[in-house]
Chains A and B, each alone.
Chain A
Amino acid sequence: MRFEGSNTYVATPDLMLAVNAAITLQRPLLIKGEPGTGKTLLAEEVANALGAPLLQWHIKSTTKAQQGLYEYDAVSRLRDSQLGGPDGERVRDIANYIVKGVLWQALEADRPTVILIDEIDKADIEFPNDLLRELDRMEFYVYETQQLIQAKHRPIVFITSNNEKELPDAFLRRCFFHYIKFPDSETMQKIVDVHFPGLKQALLKEALEVFFELREIPGLKKKPSTSELLDWLKLLLAEEIPPEALRSKDRKVAVPPLHGALLKNEQDVHLFERLVFMAKHNR
């Protein structure tokens, strides 16, 4: 099983190596990078390429590690017990109220699965530590039913982080790590290619130039990311904007058409328009 990118996902050689290391040695891969660099999409793509089911776990600030294993739905049980009725038998067996989490589903699956733990840094600082043992041994104990859940197949685990919190060393040592660098223009060209095959080269070239120049503007609150570039291109195509329109003849001082798709923050739009205005009047 090797991952080589796909016709919908562009993987650089360093990323591929990290992914394959994680697959081969069956250890989690931690992915960091600016928003929109394809961290979340990666797990999906790898699962597709390997023909393995993808189990996603999107982390929120209130997510607990235990929820990835299982939860005991005591409220339902309480309700069932108080309502009585035809479900009376059900109440007696606690196993009926154990809700399986992502990890459990992966461990009991009868073929290897891919787990995505998305944005792990959203959770409490202790969260990663609480998962150490389970990720290491790929087994855990269900106290309510006194069952030991063990992996039939070790799942492939992808973990993404936006760097909002530092992760504990003990956790990091168990993972492979890869930081997705913001794509250079060559890689970006490939990414655009998979989304818009057959896009006119002239338009792509101008668009990328505008895009990367825009990212260079100091003081932007949010630099446009890959997703914004793709949205913008879609609009340009829909409106049939010609490549020439992306750049006025005196260079650099034009506001590119539909730039609202690239700059979503109001302050950034103002900043940009002011810069363009100043550039125009300084000459």
Chain B
Amino acid sequence: MLIDFFLHLKAAKLPVSTREFLTLLEAMQERLAGHSMDDFYFLSRACLVKDESNYDKFDRAFGAYFKGVTEIPGLDAEIPEEWLRMMMKKHLTPEEKAKLEKLGWDKLMEQFKERLKEQKERHAGGSKWIGTGGSSPYGHGGYHPEGIRIGGESAGNRTAIKVWENREYRNLDDSVELGTRNIKIALRRLRRFAREGAAEELDLDGTIRGTAQNAGWLDLKMQPERHNKVKVLLFLDIGGSMDDHIKLCEEMFSAAKTEFKHLEYFYFHNCVYDYVWRDNRRRHTERFPLHDVMHKYGDDYKLILIGDATMSPYEILQPGGSVEYMNDEAGAVWLQRLLEKYPRAVWINPEPERLWEYRHSIQIIHNIVGGRMFPLTLEGLERAMRQLNK
């Protein structure tokens, strides 16, 4: 039953919408996937999945749903409408419900029934039907809501099954790899364009419009330049344990550099203390007192700290705990100061999130930043950017 399939995808956290589901129905009605399971797989993917990073999730959900594909000859039960209504309501977001309501339940149901009728007519002889299989959470209750046929005598050579079983799109999944382009896309969430400052750019369109309206007398119009006005203060941990993550951090850094015009960056080692530096080779000679940094860059800057937060707890909690030099005040004190000055702040951690709970120091920092620690994955970055935009 198609709607069941749709709900299954929703339950698997694929961002599918009712609109797209209706498109799939329409496509089925046009017999675009008349011949085989393969066709249905490709068609439903083209209708419902709009980003290759979700292909893998779709493959898994599809595979799970159709694992128990069985032949149910002559299946012709009525769809209990009440049941459908209930199920839909349960699984749709309020927004989608509203949209669906507007379209009308009746219309949707009509489409279904028609579809089913057509099925019956076409397949009186009994052929392959796709059921919900044992894996679906919805198909119970003494009736068989199944019914949309997608198999057939001429079932294809099943290349699609290979695709979803091999999960060929695995490495396109969100949480895996990051290239600078991906990072840039994630960072773009922070961008805020605005026209700011003095009017100093010729507004060509405005001038032409004005002049033309002026019957040819030149009417110069100026406008302020368009800027990405987001300001970012970036602190990068450059210590030994970060070596494993250096490539990722480089990518993150280079992406940030091209994305933000107002980007200020500094290095630290393990935790921030009373000074940071800008050039690693001259870290002992060219130090920037953290107080000065906080003084210079206003609280409209967004603060991003990148580090694995992996160290001895002393390095955070004790004066003199730094591995670099003798610090008078504990790292935690400095970190706190930074966070007070910059309310919009996140800590991005290249260590896998599942390891965090096993590292004491990560736990401590996690607490200090008030839970605003995010993994250095695409998905983590997106969460971080959302946090910064709050």
Contact = CB atoms under 8 A, between A and B. Distances in A.
Interface string A173-190: 111111101000000000
Interface string A118-133: 0000000100000000
A21 B20 CA distance: 13
Given A13-B38, A165-B188, A181 B17 contact: no
A13, A25, A75, A177 — which one has the most chain B CB atoms within 10 A of its CB? A177
Contact of A75 (B17, B30, B38, B208): B208
B46 A25 contact: no
Shortest 8 CB-CB distances between A and B: which pairs?
A: A179-B52, A172-B50, A74-B208, A18-B46, A14-B42, A17-B42, A177-B50, A74-B212
Given A17-B33, A17-B39, A74 B209 contact: yes
A164 B185 CA distance: 7
Nearest to A162: B181
B185 A166 contact: yes
Nearest to B50: A172
A163 interface: yes
Contact of A30 (B27, B50, B216): B50
Interface residues of B, number: 37
Contacts of B88: none
Interface in B148-192: 156, 159-160, 168-169, 181, 184-185, 188
13 contacts: A17-B42, A21-B27, A21-B32, A21-B43, A24-B27, A74-B211, A74-B212, A78-B208, A82-B216, A125-B188, A164-B181, A166-B185, A172-B51
Interface in A124-165: 125, 163-165
A69 to B, nearest CB: 15
Interface string B41-63: 01101110111100100000000
A77 interface: yes
B181 A163 contact: yes
A81 B214 CA distance: 12
B212 A27 contact: no
Interface of A: 13-14, 17-18, 20-21, 24-25, 27, 29-30, 32, 74-75, 77-78, 81-82, 125, 163-166, 169, 172-179, 181
B387 interface: no
Given A74-B208, A165-B185, A172-B50, 20 more contacts: A14-B42, A14-B46, A17-B42, A17-B46, A21-B47, A25-B30, A25-B32, A29-B46, A30-B50, A74-B209, A74-B211, A77-B212, A78-B211, A172-B51, A173-B50, A177-B49, A177-B50, A179-B52, A179-B169, A181-B169
B118 interface: no
A163 B179 CA distance: 12
A21 B181 contact: no
A32 B181 CA distance: 15
B291 interface: no
